[in-house]
Amino acid sequence: MSFGARLPENITAEFVRDEVAAGRAIIPANINHPESEPMIIGRNFLVKLTPISATRGHLFHRRRSGKAGMVHALGSGYGDGSLHRSLYSRNPRVDFA
């Protein structure tokens, strides 16, 4: 399976390990979601977090429009967590803190 474009030559396995070890990058993953796409978020990488309001419409729109590499909704919000569960169930790149 192939994801995205070719990696730039300067993005090597050693470079990724060094950035993660230095705290300048993270690799979000959840073993319970095998459909997750490989990615890395950090200062020296192309994926960024886009702060947006955490309404159902905004989260779906930003994720589907490709304007956010990952959506990160801060806080628990919506009491029972149904919004978080419904968004994350088939959208593995939606992250909640």
Q: What is the pTM of this model?
A: 0.48
With contact defined as beta carbons under 8 Å apart, do 63 and 71 qualify?
yes
Domain limits of the chain? Answer: 13-96
- Integer Cα distance of 50 and 89 in angstroms: 20
Q: Tens-digit pLDDT profile for the chain (97 aa)? A: 555 556 677 888 899 999 999 998 888 877 777 777 778 888 888 766 655 555 555 555 555 555 555 555 555 555 555 555 555 555 555 444 4
